[in-house]
Structure 1
Amino acid sequence: MNHDLLGRWSPGRFLGDLASGRYTENELEAFRCLDAIQFRPRSEAQEQLLRLFFSGESCARESAEEALPTSFDELVDLGILEEKGERVRSHYRIRAYPEGYLAEDFPKRLLDSPEDFVMGVAPTSRMVRKLIPDIEPDSVLDLCCGGGWIGLTEALAGREVTACDLNPRALQIAELNQRLLGGPEISWRQGAWLEPVAGERFDLIVANPPFVQSPGGSSVALDTPEQENVATALLPQLAEHLNPGGFACMLLDWQFASSDRWQAIPAAAIPDSGVQSLLFEVQRKSPEEYAHHWLGQDPRFQDDDARRPEIRRWVEYYERRRTRGISSGFVILRKCEVGEEFHFEESRGITHFLPQTGEEIGRFFRNQGWLRNHSGSLLDVNFTRVNGIRKTEGAVMGREGWETDTMQITSPACLLYDGHIDPALLRILEAASEGIPVRSVLDELAGMVGADSQAIAPQVEELVRELLIRTLIIPVERKD
């Protein structure tokens, strides 16, 4: 790619040609779902654009010029298109996303050049962005940025963004994406982990590093460098690059030798001092399941004859390390003053993050801060119940009709609470909805269990504390 020309390039003509040829998000989704055999292009231009920018096929030069009537020459000059005789091909797949058009590598490049393969907007990228607490950071670091989608979306929201990646080719594609989206300037840095930002601090760090726990390191976009643990490499350093009160959000996978201590590796890597942390395990797989999961997505190993020895190689690697399982999850860190630390660990199966996830994480840290500073009994505080809590009931058919058997509630993002609830806990939540302190319903709660109100007061206060930590209630005095 011609970097000098890219810096001066305005993509308006190219974007206009794509729109005129109906190379749009909806059309691409239809093409992807139906496949090339069933899909019927709406025009010759659309067919050529799909061949060039989605399928990675070459087409006749004349056909490409007709499909790109105003931008063909500039795309050749930039190095996005390559001419070979009378044929033309694109070096990059161009995808239409809700944010706009973005470039990425064609999947077939993973077969030939896995060492510098650049993914598109992966599901994990959208997942980690949903983890960002509901804050308004001025400065953001997009760590292991790949094609730059996270950093670009933060820049479009008005943040000052720095983005770094080990793969120089990823940064080239990220700069192309910056031009395609028309976003503000970003400081792109090349280097390993946090080396490119030595001595710098940020209000927010978002990290989606290569976390796949494989024996190889053959794909810089996916695999953890051989024999290197992402948690050990990054978690001790992240807080050093945060401004006071700043947050770091990171996805990671890690191996464990005992299911009783699933959190051992990442928990040991989190600094004890000056950091508040939320460590969450969302999935756990056996070595065999993990190998099948990742190799099943890799185009290099779709053939059974190729996949079997590779799975065996992975499993033998885990056996040498005495690995019992591999966990997937995330870590949220907040830079705090010494003496304000807390470390919270949770494990629950979650397949996707809801849009409310960042708000719930922000509320978790605010509630923890309020608890630390609060003096006096929680029974005398006016709380309010957060919006969006869901309650479901299970019932059994009795002699007189349906009878409630179980009740379950979930927090708005289904993250920090998803479990059964008894009538006493439900009454505490109702007190919060009514804006009255829990002490005013203490006698009622005692009657539910046939106990003295003063005797159960300590247990009820612990229930209130748990509801705060699980973000189901917040103090009325605090405005979120």
Structure 2
Amino acid sequence: MEPVRAVPPPGRPAPPRAGSPSAALELARLLREAGYAPQQIQERLATGDQLLARSPELPSYLRRLGDADEPAVLLRLFLLGVPVARERVDQLVGAELRARLAEAGLLVEDSEAVHGAARLVPHDELLIASDPAGAAEGHADHVPGVHRPSVALAHLTVRREGERALDLCTGNGIQAILLAAHAERVVATDVNERALGYAAFNAALNGAANVETRAGSFFEPVEGERFDLVVANPPYVVSPESAYLFRDGGMSGDEVSEHVVRAAPAALAPGGFACVLISWGLDPDDPAERPRSWLEGSGCDAFLLHTSTDDPVETATVWNRDLLDRPEAYAAALDRWLAYYRKLGIEQLGYACLVLRKRSDGSDGWLEARQLPRAALRPAGRHVRTLFETHDRLAELGADRSLLDRRLRIVEDAVVTQDTRFTEGSWRAGDLTLRLENGLPFSAELDSPTARMIRALDGSMTLREALAAAVESDDRPTGLALARRMLEIGFLELCE
């Protein structure tokens, strides 16, 4: 009978190892040559634009795949976590690839079956290894794969060439590998030695030769050092548990987020950026109050890119989904987490990427909060950096009215669309929507005067002239405030 869920390999394999940089690169080449790549996997498993859907679909995936060719065997072993008869592996997996997999410690074999010793998932051009699915229970040092928060952090990171970069709490090393593509040198730290093993292997597998791993808690391994860029995906979950190093920081409430935010400025060189995922007990009357307090005296400017606000039930549900197939344990975990939130007086939890920039003069900085739409994020580091640059220029200009004599233009990746609706026997023009094709997924509904103003702001006239041409005189103060707001979030830019 087919198994209905992933089966961890017997024992607990050590993280895979790279015998040499060239051997790791050759393994990656052979896997891709065998069809172990996103598009081919999506086609084989019929998962649409997702690489892999939810684990309850495992029986369906197995029946789609069969085990009659090399890609199917590889997907069973390293993506679905299902053992394959040794005879089938011997028949279908090429001798060179099989030898490379064994050399890296990625196969666990017995007389009858072969298990994948790690989960191996392609993400665009990268291959990322992590602990097998279903192998977390009872192992605090479990190393998970790339999840949605990791992707969000990657998309929101401000990147520049030739930096000295730090990846704090590196986990499987995905952020360090992305940093290595543009940084001169990357230091990746983690308190979890198992995670550092995976990070080192993944760096070699993806040709990131400029990544150095160091063991230790938070900033301890880099004490006294300064970096141009710090990224951090710490165990920020407000959790009553100490089950997993990657999730549970062992501090009360949101103290892990507070600790990282307070410590990050000391690790930044002047002008350097830090991008940190955080969560906190949120006050609905002032959502940014706690992160703002953590930055007092930091010498940093900051944007709080607020990704979501969850209630305690939602948060407890999200972080205990691994117990869904054990209803009694799942219910007990929910009760335990909710009691913890009641004890702390937490009624809402905020989640955000906090982006810091170290001021050169060490003076007190500012914090601006931006609520990000609940839309899929895409690479937006350049947009985030523009938010800082625009804030600086507006501060130099001073009062709003000084904008009136400046030429503004709509940014090149802005798009205006209009809905057309069939009603009462005819087609009627609907709302106009302004959105950005790249960067942060902001959008705005436009009324007719605002649409005319946007159309006039092509860089050929001042804002005063555009408002005179497009907006009634009584509405011009409102138009000025709106133009400033659109400038602040990246729909408009100042001409030189």
Report % sequence identity.
Answer: 25
Which residue type is aligned with residue 357 of structure 2? R
Find the aligned partners of 2:424 and 2:120 in 1 and give their Cα distance. Answer: 63
Matched, 1:188 2:213: yes
Letter in 2 for 1:364: L
1:276 aligns with 2:295: no
Structure 2 unmatched ranges of 5 or more: 1-13, 46-51
Q: Distance in 2 between matches of 1:384 and 1:192?
A: 47
Correspondence 1:474 to 2:489: no
Q: Counterparts of 2:133 and 2:233 in 1: how far apart (Å)? A: 20
How far did 1:263 drift? 2.0
Amino acid at match of 1:435: S
- Amino acid of the structure 2 residue aligned with 1:474: E
1:79-118 paired onto structure 2 within 5 Å = 79-84=105-110, 87-113=113-139, 115-118=140-143
Distance between the aligned counterparts of 1:93 and 1:424, measured in 2?
A: 55
More helix per residue: 1 or 2? 1
CA offset at residue 244 of structure 1?
A: 1.6
- Displacement, 1:76? 4.3
Correspondence for 1:11: 24
1:62, distance to aligned residue in structure 2 (A):
5.5
Q: Paired residue for 2:224?
A: 199
1:414 Cα deviation (Å)? 7.4
Instruction: Tell me whether 302-311 or 433-442 shows the greater mean CA deviation.
Output: 433-442
Q: Matches of 1:248 and 1:183 in 2, distance apart?
A: 21
Rate the CA distance shift 1:157–1:338 in 2: closer, same or farther, 3 A: closer
SS of the residue aligned with 2:19? helix
Matched, 1:347 2:366: no
Moved more, 389-398 or 139-148: 389-398
Task: Tell whether the 8 Å contact from 2:23 to 2:100 is kept in structure 1 after alignment.
Answer: no
Q: Which deviates more, 247-256 or 395-404?
A: 395-404
- Structure 1 CA distance for aligned equivalents of residues 36 and 436 of structure 2: 40
Asked if the contact 1:217–1:226 (Cα under 8 Å) also holds between the matched residues in 2, the reply is no
1:307 aligns with 2:330: yes
Larger deviation: 277-286 or 155-164?
155-164
SS at match of 1:111: coil
**Inter-partner Cα distance in structure 2 for 1:9 and 1:434:** 52
Instruction: From the superposition, tell whether residues 312 and 197 of structure 1 become closer, same or farther in structure 2 (CA, over 3 Å).
Output: same
Letter in structure 2 aligned against 1:302:
D
Is residue 2:239 matched to residue 1:239? no
Taking structure 2 as the reference length, what is the TM-score of the superposition?
0.83
- Separation in 2 of the partners of 1:239 and 1:270? 9
Letter in 2 for 1:294: W
Q: 359-368 or 45-54: which moved more?
A: 45-54
Q: Offset of 1:313 from its aligned partner?
A: 1.0
Match for residue 255 of structure 1 among 272, 276, 281: 281
Secondary structure of 2:201's aligned partner: helix
Deviation (angstroms), 1:146: 0.9
Confirm or deny: 8 A CA contact 2:17 2:201 kept in the other structure. Answer: no
User: Could you tell me how far apart the structure 1 residues matched to 2:301 and 2:457 are?
Assistant: 27
Q: Give me the whole-angstrom Cα distance separating, in 1, the residues matched to 2:186 and 2:130.
A: 20
Within the candidate set 95, 106, 110, 1:69 is matched to 95
Aligned to 2:350: 327
2: distance between equivalents of 1:186 and 1:279? 28
Between the aligned partners of 1:349 and 1:138, the Cα distance in structure 2 is 30
Deviation at 1:121? 2.0
1:95 is paired with a residue whose SS is strand
Q: Show CA shifts across 1:349-405 (max 9, x none).
A: 4242133x2222121111111122236821111122112223344678899976667
SS of the aligned residue for 1:281 comes to: strand
Structure 1 residues 196-238: Cα deviation after superposition (integer angstroms, max 9, x where no partner): 1111111111212222222113121223434152321111121
User: Could you say what secondary structure the match of 1:70 adopts?
Assistant: helix
Structure 2 counterpart of 1:49: 74
| Cα distance per residue 1:57-80 (max 9 Å; x no partner) | 445556545525125456545543
- Answer whether contact 1:134 1:359 (CA < 8 A) is retained: yes
2:373–2:442 contact (8 Å) kept in structure 1 = no
User: Structure 1's 51 and 322: CA in aligned 2 closer, same or farther, altered over 3 A?
Assistant: same
CA distance in 1, matches of 2:71, 2:381: 39
Q: CA 1:392–1:272 in structure 2 vs 1: closer, same or farther (change >3 Å)?
A: farther
- Determine helix, strand or coil for the equivalent of 2:79: helix
Distance 1:154 1:10, change over 3 A: same
**Could you tell me which amino acid in structure 2 is paired with residue 368 of structure 1?**
H
How does 1:25-40 map onto structure 2 within 5 Å? 25-29=38-42, 30-31=44-45, 32=52, 35-40=60-65
User: Which one is further off, 340-349 or 183-192?
Assistant: 340-349
Deviation at 1:89, TM superposition (A): 3.1
CA contact (8 A) 2:187 2:213 kept: yes
The answer for the alignment partner of 1:465 in structure 2 is: 484
Cα distance change, pair 242–49 in 1 and its aligned pair in 2 (3 A):
same
Distance 1:445 1:199 in 2: 56
Whether the 8 Å CA contact 1:360–1:412 is kept in 2: the answer is no
Q: Could you tell me whether the CA contact under 8 Å between 2:271 and 2:357 is conserved in 1? A: yes
8 Å Cα contact 1:274-1:341 kept in structure 2: yes
1:358 counterpart residue number = 381
Counterpart check, 1:367 vs 2:367: no
Structure 1 residues 23 and 153: alpha-carbon distance in aligned structure 2, compared to 1, 3 A threshold: same
How many angstroms does 1:308 deviate by? 1.1
The 1:407/1:49 distance shift into structure 2, 3 A limit, reads closer
In the TM superposition, residue 344 of structure 1 has moved relative to its aligned partner by 0.5
TM-score (norm 1): 0.85
C-alpha displacement of 1:81 = 2.9
Give 2:406's match in structure 1, choosing from 373, 381, 384. 381
- Aligned-residue offset at 1:120: 1.5
Moved more, 10-19 or 340-349: 10-19
- Residues 103 and 244 of structure 1: is their aligned pair in 2 closer, same or farther, counting only changes over 3 Å? same
Q: For residue 266 of structure 2, what is the amino acid of its counterpart?
A: E
Q: How does 1:143-158 map to 2 (within 5 A)?
A: 143-157=168-182
**Partner Cα separation in structure 1 for residue 307 and residue 96 of structure 2:** 48
Change (3 A) 1:321 1:76: same
